[in-house]
Amino acid sequence: MTTIAAQPHSGEAVDAGRRETLTVIDNRTGKSYELPISEGTIRGLDLRQIKREEEDFGLMAYDPGYANVAACKSAITYLDGDRGILQYRGYPIEQLAERSTFLEVAYLLIHGELPGRAELEAWSHEVTIHTFVHENVKGFMQGFRHDAHPMGMLLGAVGALSTFYPDAKAIDDPEVRYLQTIRLIAKMPTLAAFAFRHSRGQPYVYPDNELSYPGNFLSMMYKMSELRYEPDPRLERALDVLFILHADHEQNCSTSAVRGVGSSRVDPYSAIAGGIAALYGPLHGGANEAVLRMLARIERKENIPDFLKGVEEGKERLMGFGHRVYRNYDPRAKIIKRAAEDVFEVTGARNPRLDIALELERIALEDEYFISRKLYPNVDFYSGLIYESLGLPVEMFPVMFAIGRTAGWVANWLEQVGDHEQRIARPRQIYTGARDRDYVPIEERP
Ligand code: CMC
C-alpha cells in the first residue's frame, strides 16, 4: 500500500488513472491514500494507516453481521445471490440434485473434483465402514433427558467425539485430517438417528452397511422388529436430494462458526460442534422448524391476509422467506418444491400445510412489502413439509440439515487448515462503555 502525498481536500475527483487501486480522501485531514484492489476487495488492514493523529488507532470497518466482509478465499461453493446461482465446485446445484448422489457430492466438495468409478467406490466403502460409533457414545446419549431436543443431543455428541478420537488434534497431518473427514460424514446420520430414537423412547438401531447412505439413515430411524428394513427407493432418493441441497452454502452462519472455531486450530469435532450450535438457531437451520410452527399457527388459508398484515407491521417474520445473499429466488427452493410433491406421492396424503404454504407464497410474491425488499422463499420454506411427511417431528428438522451440511463444514475446515493466509479469527469492536473509573466499595455505592 502506498500513501500518496498528503493533499488538501479540493472536492475534485482524484485521477486514479487505470490502476487497480482505490483512492480514499480523509476529509478530516485532507490526506489521500491509495489502496490496492485485488479480486474486488481492499485489505481491511490497509485502512489502519488512515489516522487523524499519529497516535490514533487507525480506521476500521464497522460491519455487524459481516455483510460486506470477505473473511477467506474459497474454491468450494459459488453463489450469485442476484441471479439465483448456486454451484458446488463449479457444478450447478440443479444438475447435482438431478443426477448425483449425496456421497458423490460430498466427495466433490472435499476433493474438488467428481470421483471416477473406482474412487467413488472406495470413498463410499470408507464412509460406510465408519458408520458405527463407540458403545460409550451410545451410553452417554442414553443419559440425556427423555425430552431432550435432538439438535442439542447432536451438538453434545459431536463435541464429545473429540474425546473418543484424541488423535484428531494432529490437524497438520493430512492422513489424520482425512480420517476425521470420513468419520464425521459417516457418523453424523448415526448420531442423528440415535437422537431421534431417544426422543421416541425407542431402542437405538445400529447401522446397516448393506444399505445406501440415505437408506441406512432411514433404517436407523424407522426399523422396528423386522429383520431388515427395506427403504422405499423414492424416499431414499428424496432424502439424498435434500442432503445434496443442504451440503454447502458458502460462508453462512454455521460455516463461519466452523471456520471461526477452527481458526484456533482445535480438532474438527469441536469446530463442527460450533457449526451445529450456530445451525440450531431459528434464523439459520432452525428456520424450517419455525416455518412449520408458523404454518400450524396460520391454520387456514383464510387467516393468511391477517398474518401478512402482522408481518408488514413488523410484529411477525415470514419464516422461510428472505436470505442474506439471495435477492432472487433461492434455487434450492425450486428443487425442494418438486421433491415435496414426490414425497407426498409416496406417503399418500398430501400435507395440508402445503396448500397454506403455496397460498402464502403466492400472496407474498405479489405483495409490495416482499417485492420491494426482494424477499423470496428460501430452502427452508418447503423442506420442513417434506420432513413432516416423512414422520419427523419438527425438532429433527435442523438435525436433518446438519447431516447434509457436514460435508460443507468439513470441506471448509480442510480448506482453512491448508490456507496459510488464515489467522485466528479475532474481530475488533467499537468500545462504547465507560472508562477509567475507580472501584467503589459496596457500602459507598448509591
Ligand atoms: N419476513 C418479514 N420481513 C423480513 C424477512 C422475513 N422473513 N426477512 C427480511 N425481512 C425484512 C426486514 O425486516 C428488513 O426490513 P426493513 O428494511 O423494513 O427493516 C428487510 O427485510 C431486510 O432484512 P434483514 O433482516 O436486514 O435481512 P438479513 O439479510 O439480515 O436477514 C434472514 C436474512 C434470512 C436472517 C432474514 O431474511 C430472516 O429472518 N428470514 C426468516 C428466517 C429464515 O427463513 N431463515 C432461513 C435462511 S435460509 C437457510 C439458512 O441458510 O439457514
327-348 in b/e form (b: 16+ CB < 10 A) is eeebbbbbbbbebbeebbeebe
Cα–Cα distance, 45 to 36 (Å, whole number): 11
pLDDT at site 17: 59
Q: In this structure, how many other beta carbons lie within 10 angstroms of the beta carbon of residue 42? A: 16
pLDDT at site 8: 36
Q: Show the cell assigned to 79.
A: 453463489
**Residue 188 backbone phi and psi in degrees, to 5:** -60, -45
In which element (H, E) is residue 274 found? helix 268-280
Asked whether 324 lines ligand 1 (CB < 6 A), one says: yes
Asked whether 337 lines ligand 1 (CB < 6 A), one says: no
pLDDT tens, residue order, the chain (446 aa): 444 433 334 444 445 458 999 999 999 999 999 999 999 999 999 999 999 999 999 999 999 999 999 999 999 999 998 898 999 999 999 999 999 999 999 999 999 999 999 999 999 999 999 999 999 999 999 999 999 999 999 999 999 999 999 999 999 999 999 999 999 999 999 999 999 999 999 999 999 999 999 999 999 999 999 999 999 998 899 999 999 999 999 999 999 999 999 999 999 999 999 999 999 998 888 888 889 889 999 999 999 999 999 999 999 899 999 988 888 788 998 898 888 877 888 887 677 888 899 899 999 999 999 999 999 998 888 888 888 888 888 889 999 999 999 999 999 999 999 999 999 999 999 999 999 999 999 999 99
Residue 311 CA to ligand 1 centre (angstroms): 11
Three-class DSSP category at 127: helix
26 annotated active-site: no
Angle, in degrees to the nearest 10, between helices 174-200 and 117-129: 50
Which of 360, 361, 373, 397 has most ligand 1 atoms within 8 Å of its beta carbon, as the pocket-test mutant? 373
Asked whether 106 lines ligand 1 (CB < 6 A), one says: no
448456486: which residue's cell? 86
pLDDT at site 11: 41
pLDDT at site 327: 82
Question: Nearest residue CA, atom 22 of ligand 1?
Answer: 373
249 annotated active-site: no
pLDDT at site 347: 80
pTM for the whole structure: 0.89
487505470: which residue's cell? 18
Residue 349 CA to ligand 1 centre (angstroms): 32
Q: Computed from CA positions of residues 362, 289, 215, 179, in that sequence, does the dihedral angle turn out positive or negative?
A: positive
146 annotated active-site: no
What atom of ligand 1 comes closest to residue 285's alpha carbon? Answer: 52
Can you list the domains of the chain with their CATH numbers? 2-62 (no CATH), 77-420 (1.10.580.10)
Residue 331 CA to ligand 1 centre (angstroms): 17
Counts of helices then strands in the chain (DSSP H, E): 17, 5
Three-class DSSP category at 91: strand
pLDDT at site 355: 87
What atom of ligand 1 comes closest to residue 279's alpha carbon? Answer: 52
| Closest-CA residue to 320 (of 286, 297, 359) | 286
